[in-house]
Every structure is written in structure tokens, then in C-alpha cells.
Amino acid sequence: MAIHPLRTWLTKFGELASHPTAFLVVATYALLWLYFQPHTFDWHAGAVLATWFMTLFIQRATHRDTQAIQAKLDELLHVDRHARDELTKLDDKDPEEIERHRELARAGD
């Protein structure tokens, strides 16, 4: 089944939001805001920037935890001689495809 381009883009966007460069983008935005519209930079602006930074911190922590879990699961799959190797690449698929795989696996039990 073909992967919908929007789903691929959204997944890639989520990965980019967890990259350290995302913090630099928000900091640059704040500096540009201060430079071009300093009169609008008030407590509300601080709250907006704090929200963005917290969102990036949460996204980064979630991404780190997910990657650690995936690495551990991949290792377990590699040591089990009955495990299927294609399962180690399942996390590269879209969430909807993973859900379909899980439904098929549950139906087979």
C-alpha cells in the first residue's frame, strides 16, 4: 500500500522537532521578534516562547525514549532465532501500517 505523502511529511516533521536544531530555530525566532517588534514582546510573548520550548523538550524526551525502546526490542529480536527480521524495520512504517500489522498479528493468535 502506498504511503500518503502528508503522513510521511508529518512523521518527518515530528522527527525534526526532536532535533536540537529546533531549539535554535525557536531562539532565532525570539531574537527576530525582539529585533523587529520589540514593542509587542511582553509577558504573552514570553509565555508563547516558553510553551514552544517546553513542547520541544517533551518531544525530544519522547523521541529519545522511543529510540531506546526500539533499540532494545531490535536487540531482543536479533537474539531470538525464531523472530522475523522484518520486525526490526517495523518502526520505519507509518503508524497506521503498524496498527494494521498488530491487528493481523492478534488475529493470528
pLDDT one digit per residue (tens) for the chain, 109 residues: 455 778 778 778 888 888 889 999 999 999 999 999 999 999 999 999 999 999 999 999 998 998 889 888 888 888 888 878 787 788 778 778 888 888 887 887 6
Q: How far apart are CA 27 and CA 101, in angstroms?
A: 40
Q: Could you tell me the residue ranges of all domains in the chain? A: 5-108
**What does the pLDDT read at residue 4?**
74
* Dihedral of alpha carbons 20, 57, 72, 95, sign: negative
CB 26 within 8 A of CB 52: yes
